[in-house]
A and B are shown apart, each in its own frame.
Chain A
């Protein structure tokens, strides 16, 4: 009985190995929408964002990623932003083993935001467009032809130059996101 079980396990294991398709290759397109809490590093407070990204792989080591973060609100009353939308785009470098992937990337971008009234000049709310640089590090498991699980940590460096005199304009954030994403391969496996 034990011998039969071992044989069945070996056959099943070999069969699974043979069927294991590697999804990380050129032409892989991935996208997701998730909620991302963020910690403000130079100001008190935390923020919550709705994060969406689109990623396309040129080859298994390099991908282009575009990301948008819509501010849903500050988690504390003494928030820094009234409204905000950050958009970044850049290249990610990947190291992968089968369908398990780790990445690191540099993504320049812009933050279009309105500061809370006591941070703005003369207490007037106005939109500012601020350059942003973000560093992204994370991991992904492509578990299925059309779905993956991911985790990302993003550091964004932002500096509001036009805030009221003597008020610190630095607004760096550490943002966390994780969830279920969707992917397709635009190019058939050769």
Chain B
């Protein structure tokens, strides 16, 4: 059992320490990574800057098309009386703007969809809260900075537009009130990610 644990634990370092052999095309390259997120809400005047943490894996389908599957956990403020927690789980498609397969800087366009859960919490009484489940679409642009054949740092900016009902908080008569209502117009936010990605293998 101990040997099995050691083998499982050390396997990534044996396997990934070797140069990656890319088969005919870059389709099939599988990578995993971690990212940190900054979020700025535009729909609610009281909402401000949020920060978060997340992870993603990528499966490249062709030389110029990659897919990214992600999970994010973001916390933010609503004025000084309430807080906001967002969970995002979704996917994006990236289209590379350069023909070169392995440049130092690789710009791309990105578009995708995600499911999200939003929770608003009263700062003075955490039992007073509201939550909603919805979905969103997002799009933007980004860059991969190649550090080595297997490792890149990615920077991207996207606008995420939430679909479905809206929830919001307001402060009235010395109390925090939460409301859910049909959305009027677009509610969304800018997201900026800095991600670290490591290519594991060329799967096909």
Q: Show the binding face of A for B, using Cβ within 8 Å.
A: 26-27, 29, 56-59, 61-62, 64, 89-91, 93, 106-110, 121-122, 124, 126, 129-133, 157, 159, 161-166, 186-187
Judged by DSSP, the binding face of A is: strand
B123 and A58 form a contact (CB under 8 A): no
Q: Is B76 among interface residues, defined by CB-CB distance under 8 A?
A: yes
Contacts of B34 in A (CB 8 A): 89-90, 107-108
Judged by DSSP, the binding face of B is: strand
Q: Show the binding face of B for A, using Cβ within 8 Å.
A: 10, 12-14, 16-18, 34-37, 50-54, 73-77, 80-81, 83-85, 121-126, 147-148, 150-151, 153, 194, 196, 198
Chain B: CB-nearest residue to A26: B17
Contacts of A163 in B (CB 8 A): 123
Chain B: CB-nearest residue to A161: B83
A121 and B151 form a contact (CB under 8 A): no
Q: Which of A93, A159, A187 has a CB less than 8 Å from the CB of B17? A: A187
A57 and B81 form a contact (CB under 8 A): no
A58 and B14 form a contact (CB under 8 A): no
Contacts of B37 in A (CB 8 A): 131
Contacts of B125 in A (CB 8 A): 121-122
A186 and B77 form a contact (CB under 8 A): no
A186 and B147 form a contact (CB under 8 A): no
A166 and B80 form a contact (CB under 8 A): yes
Chain A: CB-nearest residue to B129: A162
Contacts of B76 in A (CB 8 A): 161
A106 and B194 form a contact (CB under 8 A): yes
- Within the complex, what minimum Cβ distance (angstroms) separates B165 from chain A? 22
Chain B: CB-nearest residue to A110: B53
B83 and A108 form a contact (CB under 8 A): no
Per the bound structure, the CA–CA distance linking A124 and B126 in Å amounts to: 10
B17 and A27 form a contact (CB under 8 A): yes
Per the bound structure, the CA–CA distance linking A57 and B13 in Å amounts to: 7
B126 and A121 form a contact (CB under 8 A): yes
Per the bound structure, the CA–CA distance linking A161 and B50 in Å amounts to: 9
Contacts of A129 in B (CB 8 A): 73
Chain B: CB-nearest residue to A29: B13
Chain A: CB-nearest residue to B81: A165
Contacts of A126 in B (CB 8 A): 126
20 contacts between A and B (CB under 8 A): A26-B17, A26-B18, A27-B13, A29-B10, A29-B13, A64-B12, A64-B198, A90-B34, A93-B147, A108-B34, A110-B73, A121-B123, A122-B126, A124-B126, A131-B36, A159-B75, A161-B76, A164-B123, A165-B81, A187-B14
